[in-house]
Amino acid sequence: CLDEEGKVHEFGSGWRTEDCNDCSCSDTGIGCCNSYITPADYDEEKCESIFNKETCSYKVVEKDDHTKECPVHGWVG
């Protein structure tokens, strides 16, 4: 399989992209999906979600103080 960056992958192999997608190669082609879940139910007026590309995860924190995490009641992924 030839990925978007021009790299060749063997059939049956898997890898994670820079954009935190998990991909795999089979005889039918390449399939990719998100490796992370997205916060969906939190106080959006008081809080904001921040994505960390190194850990491929979201953190939900207060807009005025990023050291304080906010409760999240639902995730999508």
Which whole number is the average pLDDT over 45-64? 97
Say if residues 61 and 68 touch (Cβ distance below 8 Å): yes
User: pLDDT tier at 4 (50, 70, 90 boundaries)?
Assistant: confident
Give the residues across from 28 on adjacent strands: none
What's the CATH code of the domain at 70?
2.20.25.590
Residue-level pLDDT at 55? 95
Residue bearing tokens 């790299």: 7
Neighbours of 35 (CB within 10 A): 15
User: Does 31 lie in the same domain as 43?
Assistant: no
Which whole number is the average pLDDT over 8-17? 95
What is the domain range of residue 20?
Answer: 1-35
Which whole number is the average pLDDT over 50-64? 96
User: Does 30 lie in the same domain as 55?
Assistant: no
User: Does 25 lie in the same domain as 55?
Assistant: no
Q: Rounded to 5, what percent of the chain is helix, strand, coil?
A: 0, 50, 50
What's the CATH code of the domain at 17?
2.10.70.10
pLDDT at 20 over 90: yes
User: pLDDT tier at 40 (50, 70, 90 boundaries)?
Assistant: very high
Say if residues 57 and 36 touch (Cβ distance below 8 Å): yes
User: Does 72 lie in the same domain as 47?
Assistant: yes
15: helix, strand or coil: strand
